[in-house]
Every structure is written in C-alpha cells, then in structure tokens.
Amino acid sequence: LLFHREHNRIATKLSQVNPHWNDEKIYQEARRIVAAEFAHITYNEFLPRIVGFSMANKYDILPRTNGYDSNCEATISHSFATAAYRFGHSLSRRTEVDPRTYQTTMSNIDVLLFRNYLFAIRGNPQSGLDLITINIMRGRDHGVPNYRELCGLGQAFSFVDLSKEMSSSTIEALTSVYESVDDIDLFTGIISEKPIAGAVVGPTAACIIAEQFSRIKKCDRFYYENAKKSSTSMKIYYTDQMQQLRRVTLSSVICANHEWIRRVQPHAFSLPHRHLYARSLLIMKKKKQKSRI
C-alpha cells in the first residue's frame, strides 16, 4: 500500500511537470522510478541490516558498485530459497500480535521456534501444521547441502566444533535430535547460529543471502544502476536522476505519503532511540519538495 501511494504521488508530480504526457507514459515512468526506489531501499537499507555491512561489502551488494555482468548466473539457489531466506519464520510470535509490541525492536533469530499453528482451524488443536518441520522436510526433498558445507566455515567433526557459531544450550539441543554433526539440516543449522556483528542472521545465512542478492543485482540488466548508454532495451538514469534516487530512504517514502505521521526515525529498519530525536516530517517534506526525479 505504501508504494502504491508512492507510485500515485510520483505520477501526479510527473503529470504536473509534463502536461503533454498521456496516461500510459505517466504510468510507465512512475513505475520505473518506484521500482528503482524499492531496489535502492532493499540494497541500501534492508540487506545491510539483515546480513551486516561486512558481508554486504564482501559480496558487493551495496549501491554504487560494479554493474551488469552478461555472464552472470541468474538462477536462485536452493540453499537460498529453501533455507537461508526462510530465517524469518523463526521470528514469528507464538501467540497473537500485541499492538504494544510495535514499539519494540525486531528480535534476532530465536531458537524457540514458532510451532504447530500454521493453517490451524479454530477450536481444533490438532489441525495445525509445523512450519519448521515443513522447512526441514522441504530441504531434504530438494537435496540442499548439509549445514557447514557452504560458505567456508570449515568441517565440523563433532558437535563441540560448533561452539564458535552456536550457544552451548543450542548445541545440547541439536545433540539430542541428531546422531551425528554431519546430519544437521541446513535450515536447522542456520537458525541455530548466533547473529554476526551488526546483522540479524548468523554467518551461514548471511553468506548465502548476500551472495544471492549480489547475483540478483549483477545479473539483472534492468536493475536501475546497471543501465548503459549503449543499451536500446531500457532507459538510463541521468546523473541528477541517479543522485535523487540515492537520496531516497524508506523513512522519506513514509513521510511523503502519510500526512498524519508527525515524525519518523531516519533509519526505518531500526527502532528510534528515546534520546535521539526522530527526523521531523516537516523537514523531510521540505527536502522532498525540492527534489525532482
């Protein structure tokens, strides 16, 4: 809904600046701009929060990096789709959402998992499915590599070798359900790892997610930073347009499309600190009015 509003806002601005454009032209240009904004927010704000800036730098996923690679392998890996990018399933609450929790920060990956409530029928406690079990079985059906066979963590010869990436209580729990350390499923290992510095996920998930998004960007000739002047299949963004796109943040999009929001923190994916004032809506609106894409 937020980006629907952003599309309509930009379309309105474009029609004012270009009154000779027809509806289709306005729609396509607004669509192109909003797609670039969404991509920029994803790579500039969301991904560094998930995988950490060190991993984002290692895999070259931050904006203003190398462009389109025609030899790039654009497929989505099984390890990403089946295990690593399902890390959010372990962040689900066990019970209903309490509106008061909107004022608290998102938790890191929790080994106390969301269980037995998926597609449950009200009044039938035996009807629910186990989301985590489904993820584990899907990984086995797809034949994804076992935990630690990816991303250079080194082979674990015993459960003790996991102590650097996992807590002692987690290792104890894994020991109770897996006969050998070699049997640990990738999804299970990923959500059992301690988050790396500045990230939500552990080293294996961060590696898989960062590598995948790096290829998603570099393999896409329509990604907003990959356009070349020699390309005849898409329009390029000129220097001033690119500068405006790189100024866009999720906070600025929120402020530009919600009249009733008085303040929002500069970094929308982080909880505002009570000692640091959030950015003023009026200030952001003034800046937004001065910018043109």
What pLDDT, on a 0 to 100 scale, did the predictor assign at position 243? 85
pLDDT at site 66: 64
Per-residue confidence in pLDDT tens, the chain, 293 aa: 899 999 999 999 999 999 999 999 999 999 999 999 999 999 999 999 999 999 999 998 888 766 788 888 889 998 999 989 888 765 555 444 455 544 555 555 444 345 666 666 777 777 777 778 888 999 999 888 877 766 777 888 999 999 999 999 999 999 999 999 999 999 999 999 999 999 999 999 999 999 999 999 999 888 888 876 545 455 667 678 888 888 999 999 998 998 887 778 888 888 776 655 544 444 455 555 554 44
How confident is the model at residue 275, as a pLDDT? 56
Q: Is 7 annotated as a binding residue?
A: no
As a whole number, the mean pLDDT across the chain is: 81
User: Residue 267's pLDDT is what?
Assistant: 85
Q: What is residue 209's three-state secondary structure?
A: helix
- The two three-digit tokens of residue 257, written as one number: 């499309």
Count CB neighbours of 39 within 10 A: 19
Phi-psi region of 162 (alpha: psi -120 to 50; beta: other; left: phi over 0): alpha
Pairs from 30-34 (Cβ < 8 Å, separation ≥ 24) = 31/7, 32/235, 33/245, 33/293, 34/3, 34/6, 34/7, 34/10
What is the pLDDT at residue 273? Answer: 63
